[in-house]
A = this chain, B = another copy of it.
Amino acid sequence: MKPTNDCFLRALKREKTDFTPVWLMRQAGRYLPEYCETRAKAGSFMGLAKNPDYATEVTLQPIDRYGIDAAILFSDILTVPDAMGLGLDFVPGQGPVFAKPVQSEEAVNNLYVPDPNEELQYVMDAVVSIRKALDNRVPLIGFSGSPFTLACYMVEGRGSRDFRMVKEMMFRRPDLFERVLDINAKAVTAYLNAQIAAGAQAVQIFDTWGGMLADGDFQRFSLKYMKQVLDGLIRENEGDVVPSIIFTKGGGEWLEDMAATGASAVGLDWSVNMSRARALIGEKVAIQGNMDPFALFGDEVAIRNAARRVMDAFGPVGTAGHVFNLGHGINQFTPIENVQILVDEVHSYSRQFH
């Protein structure tokens, strides 16, 4: 059954729409007071993510508050390696930490593809619960980290400025690293397909760290495995196409490669010139993005101008497919009233382009 507001799905399928749909990466998050309340009840971040009722609550909060055009499953990109038994924990001030990082051949040998309907059942329960709560108002996006981005955390064991241990394995033992990536690609494929089967109406692959790879290495160690995932995805569900989005932060150099993977849309970070991106790949895929998240710290006029700059750069949309988003996750200190200004501006200003 189509959502009442299917603008987001139509844009991804490059069909005509009346306005440009908008959602925000990390839209269910700490900048929202209601999120912080639910988070406090849940006790911990993973307590929140693993409880379908709480996950449903926070997923719907930005939809209810702002009239955003798509909901995104509340979860974390690291649920998959957690389900592989690596022991995910969120340490205050440090972010995600794995108890058993993958730093030896033996550790790689022990990796396996988790059954998404076993170890990750809580995610599928959340998808079902969210779909029910959304009641077809807007579509639900499922997501996963990219095989490379998951490998970054799995090998390093935590976030890092430079992921030196990851690069060391990549340069010293590319064979070993590629085994990790292959397992991750299989795990992500199964995971996203389970989300789709449970009710996700589009999926996004977050390649948060692909941008730290050299040209050539990106294609070999990140893009190839995203394509492997895309090739294995369920194409249709509930009688409709399930569009896919790939987003590599810092991937502006590789837009044409990304557009050739078979993804429905390519997400851009804010450093990319939207006009150039459209000229390069606008005939092949929809484009998502790409306002600087910090533009939301400006005054009302500045926010409207920053949003318009993105839409002006994209130009008349027709069937090119533009999904408005930030170029990265919304910052936790964003003034909440400014998000409403942005959403309203995108909805109203974009009509002239449709």
A residues touching B (Cβ–Cβ < 8 Å)? 162, 164, 167-168, 170-172, 211-218, 250, 252-253, 270-274, 276, 290-292, 294-295, 297-299, 302, 306, 309, 327, 331, 333
Contacts and interface: CB of A to CB of B under 8 A. Distances in A.
Contacts of A276: 253
A172 B214 contact: no
Nearest to A309: B216
Contacts of A299: 172
Contacts of A331: 162, 164
B270 A214 contact: yes
A271 B164 contact: no
A294 B333 contact: no
A214 B291 contact: yes
B253 A214 contact: no
A81 to B, nearest CB: 22
A215 B167 contact: no
Contacts of A214: 270-271, 290-292, 295, 306, 327
A302 B162 CA distance: 20
Nearest to A169: B297
Contacts of A170: 294
A329 B162 CA distance: 12
Contact of A292 (B217, B273, B291): B217
Contact of A171 (B172, B218, B253, B298): B298
Contacts of A252: 252-253
Nearest to A275: B215
B298 A271 contact: no
Contact of A271 (B171, B211, B270, B333): B211
B211 A164 contact: no
Given A171-B297, A292-B167, A299-B172, A272 B333 contact: no
23 contacts: A162-B294, A162-B331, A164-B331, A167-B292, A167-B297, A168-B294, A171-B295, A171-B302, A172-B298, A213-B292, A214-B271, A214-B290, A214-B291, A214-B292, A214-B306, A215-B270, A215-B271, A215-B273, A215-B274, A218-B271, A250-B271, A253-B272, A253-B276
Contacts of A302: 171-172
Given A250-B250, A331-B164, A213 B297 contact: no
Nearest to A295: B171
A274 B297 CA distance: 36
